[in-house]
């Protein structure tokens, strides 16, 4: 785990290592800050909201997680870094993946001069 963190320019601390171990277990997941706090407490890992929040955002900036903001103040962190879209279940407050080729995107507007599309992320709220 340390080498993966180092490779992405993140100095492994006890809490970063613990959160990385919770998240990168080989299965795709979408987690909120609260989810990670619950996971950590279940493992008897002592942490705080601020520390989990900072760690998840650092991981996202470093490219270890993809941050999906579903509305102001509500973000999920996705361990699946491949290109895909999401259903957002508003009543259950959870995301589910939609394969990238399940959505056809056409009729995009002309881009501002000199700009290129980096990615298109579709969230369908249901």
Residue 87 sits in the site that holds Zn ion (CB under 5 A): no
Sole window of 3-11, 52-60, 78-86, 109-117 interacting with Zn ion (rule: CB under 5 A) = 78-86
The residues, ordered by sequence, that sit 6+ positions from 21 with a Cβ below 8 Å of its Cβ are 1
Residue spans of alpha helices (H) in 8-117: 14-23, 33-42, 49-61
Nearest approach, Cβ of 102 to Zn ion (angstroms)?
A: 13
Residue 54 sits in the site that holds Zn ion (CB under 5 A): no
Closest CA to 28 of 64, 81, 75, 89: 81
Report the residue from 54, 57, 79, 80 that binds Zn ion according to the rule CB under 5 A: 80
**Footprint of Zn ion (CB under 5 A):** 78, 80, 97
């Amino acid at each position: 785990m340390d080498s993966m963190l180092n490779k992405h320019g993140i100095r492994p601390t006890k809490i970063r290592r613990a959160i990385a171990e919770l998240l990168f277990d080989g299965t795709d997941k979408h987690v909120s800050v609260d989810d990670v706090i619950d996971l950590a407490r279940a493992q008897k890992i002592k942490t705080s909201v601020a520390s989990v929040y900072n760690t998840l955002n650092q991981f996202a900036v470093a490219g270890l997680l993809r941050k999906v903001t579903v509305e102001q103040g509500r973000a999920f962190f996705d361990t699946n870094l491949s290109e895909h879209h999401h259903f957002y279940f508003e009543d259950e407050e959870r995301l589910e993946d939609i394969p990238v080729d399940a959505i056809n995107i056409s009729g995009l507007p002309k881009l501002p001069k000199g700009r290129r599309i980096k990615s298109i992320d579709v969230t369908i709220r249901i």
